[in-house]
Amino acid sequence: MSKETYNAFEVAQAQFDQVALKIGLDESTRELLRQPIREYHISIPVKMDDGTTKVFRGYRIQHNDARGPAKGGIRFHPLETADTVRALSMWMTWKCSVVDIPLGGGKGGIVCDPRTMSDREQERLCRGWVRQLARVMGPNLDVPAPDVMTSAKHMLWMLDEYEAIYGGRYPGFITGKPVGMGGSLGRTEATGFGVIFVLREALKELGIKIEETTASIQGFGNVGQHAALKYTQMGGRVIAISCWDNNDKCSYTYRCNNGVDINFLRSITDSFGTVNKNKAIEAGYELLSGDDWIAQDVDILLPAALENQINSKTVNRISKSVKVIAEAANGPTTPDADKVINERNIFVIPDFLSNAGGVTCSYFEQVQSNMNYYWDKDEVMHKLDSKMTSAFKAVYDLSVNQNVFMREAAYIIAINRVAQAVKMRGWV
């Protein structure tokens, strides 16, 4: 599947169809679950700083809420499409289900590039998105969160607008808020740390000591940074990190065979995950093409960027030394690349299990906000580790018992739980 023909929603549906057929899902349930249950496409007029008005296209798509309120991030990206948001909302349904939290799947997106917008313009955009969708979102309906190029400040602007509309305090409307304003301790680290919690469990099952492994990471935003941080804290060695350079409009891979200093790289990285190239070179880092992250001679590959990164063109560049792929991004591997990876017997921790730490901690934040009582960070991390470990073990055990790959095992568990919910509600 080439980059030109890649469609995230078609991939998500193909993955679902394969498992639905395998588990004998009836036709009506299959038809319900392979499509979003509702979609909202909106236009958002925003007054720009120069006095002009620009109209942005936005989306909120709710895939399924049989198990609880829809849950999912809102991303800003200049190439955002309805199909991408549909796919992400579907993956969110499976993600919430596989870690067994009482939420459904939703996702939002706005076609924009916040890197070219002032904070005031971004705030007006956030408030405009909420004004258009406030009637169909809320603590008991649909709970947004941060995603690509959105952060705690965007969530607080959205919360403030929602509360202004309804005239009250509703901190459970949105997660990923700043700590002290209804946010949960540990939420920032949750997705990246969750990836490493399940990676740790996978390495145990494979009989590999984490302190004897090396890794290459694609993406150095919030998820990539915290995954790298936790991995090195556990004794692993990151030798390469690839990230987008907003100045040069391309990606680079920064390599250090002796081990990347994660704290140093974080200190020279901006809020969009762009490493200061000149400072990295001065510090002795080798500068490679952005695509070279996948070809490194490491034990672990950790894609933490966007969809379609391991595809039919890139999969054959994966080194023979790679034993594990931990998918920190959503949909980083295409089905045709999956076949090659499976044939090579590389152990894959599928995306909607691997990166479920974010939505799990968002659920914790939602619980804390709704009861107006907040846990300390150790309690949050303990609960997160417990939840991720439990989910991994369930998927791994099914994979072994039914002799299926991890992605298929994760889908079987997730789809069965959602199918049971829609049947019990009498929807099909």
Instruction: At 300, list the tokens.
Output: 């672990």
- pLDDT, one tens digit per residue, over 207-242 is 999 999 999 999 999 899 999 999 999 999 999 999
- Predicted TM-score of the model (pTM): 0.91
What is the full per-residue pLDDT of the chain (428 aa) written as tens digits?
Answer: 334 578 999 989 999 999 999 999 999 999 999 999 999 999 999 999 999 999 999 999 999 999 999 999 999 999 999 999 999 999 999 999 999 999 999 999 999 999 999 999 999 999 999 999 999 999 999 999 999 899 999 999 999 999 999 999 999 999 999 999 999 999 999 999 999 999 999 999 999 999 999 999 999 998 999 999 999 999 999 999 999 998 888 999 999 999 999 999 999 998 888 899 999 999 999 999 999 999 999 999 999 998 889 999 999 999 999 999 999 998 899 989 999 999 999 999 999 999 999 999 999 999 999 999 999 999 999 999 999 999 999 999 999 999 999 999 999 999 999 999 999 999 99
If asked whether residues 226 and 152 sit together in one domain, one would say no
Q: Pick from 329, 354, 379: which residue ends a domain?
A: 354
Taking CA atoms, 200 is separated from 59, 259, 297, in Å, by 36, 19, 20
Backbone angles phi, psi at 120, to 5 degrees: -65, -40
Report if residue 61 sits inside a domain.
yes
The arrangement of strands across the sheet holding 53-64 comes to 38-47, 53-64, 104-111, 70-77, 142-146
If asked whether residues 345 and 207 sit together in one domain, one would say yes
Per the structure, how many domains does the chain have? 2
User: Which residues participate in catalysis according to the annotation?
Assistant: 107
Report if residue 95 sits inside a domain.
yes
Please give the DSSP secondary-structure letter assigned to residue 101: -
Q: Pick from 112, 135, 169: which residue ends a domain?
A: 169
Taking CA atoms, 115 is separated from 41, 46, 277, 377, in Å, by 23, 16, 18, 31
If asked whether residues 135 and 64 sit together in one domain, one would say yes
**Percent of the residues in the chain that have a pLDDT greater than 70, as a whole number:** 99
| Structural domain for 315, as ranges | 189-354
Report if residue 181 sits inside a domain.
no
Instruction: At 183, list the tokens.
Output: 């946010």
Report if residue 219 sits inside a domain.
yes
Give the CATH number, domain containing residue 66: 3.40.50.10860
pLDDT recorded at residue 306: 82
If asked whether residues 326 and 249 sit together in one domain, one would say yes
Please give the DSSP secondary-structure letter assigned to residue 140: T
Measured CA to CA, the distance from residue 216 to residue 218 in angstroms comes to: 7
* Contact present, 280 and 245 (Cβ < 8 Å): no
Backbone angles phi, psi at 182, to 5 degrees: 100, 0
Report if residue 387 sits inside a domain.
no
* Contact present, 29 and 423 (Cβ < 8 Å): yes
Q: Pick from 307, 329, 354: which residue ends a domain?
A: 354
If asked whether residues 198 and 107 sit together in one domain, one would say no
Report if residue 369 sits inside a domain.
no
How many Cβ atoms are within 10 Å of 256's Cβ, its own excluded? 19
If asked whether residues 54 and 115 sit together in one domain, one would say yes
Please give the DSSP secondary-structure letter assigned to residue 291: G
Radius of gyration of the chain (CA): 21
- pLDDT, one tens digit per residue, over 295-336 is 999 999 999 998 889 999 999 999 999 999 999 998 899 989
